[in-house]
Amino acid sequence: MVVRSSKLIGISCCRKLFGTFSMINHAASDTYVRAVDQIVGGVPVLIPANGDHADVTTLLERLDGIILTGSRSNVAAVFYGGPPQPPEDAPEDPERDHVTLPLVRGAIARGMPVLAICRGLQELNVALGGTLHQRLQDIAGKIDHSTPIQPYGPVRTGKAHHVTIRRGGALFEIVQGDHLAVNSLHNQGIDLLARGLLVEARAIDGTIEAVSGTSTGYLIGVQWHPEYDFDSDDASRRIFESFGRAVRAWP
- Catalytic residue set: 118, 225, 227
Rounded to an integer, what distance in angstroms lies between the CA atom of residue 95 and that of residue 49? 5
- Asked if residue 91 lies in contact with residue 76, where contact means CB atoms within 8 angstroms, the answer is no
User: Is the CA virtual torsion 105, 195, 176, 146 positive or negative?
Assistant: positive
Question: Half-sphere exposure of 25 toward its Cβ, with a 13 Å CA cutoff?
Answer: 12
Burial string for 27-57 (b: 16+ CB within 10 Å, else e) reads bbbebbbebbbebbbbebbebbbeeeebebe
Q: Which of 104, 137, 107 is nearest to 121 (CA)?
A: 104
- Please count the other Cβ atoms lying within 10 Å of the Cβ belonging to residue 89: 10
Rounded to an integer, what distance in angstroms lies between the CA atom of residue 151 and that of residue 130? 34
Q: Which residue type is seen at 168?
A: G
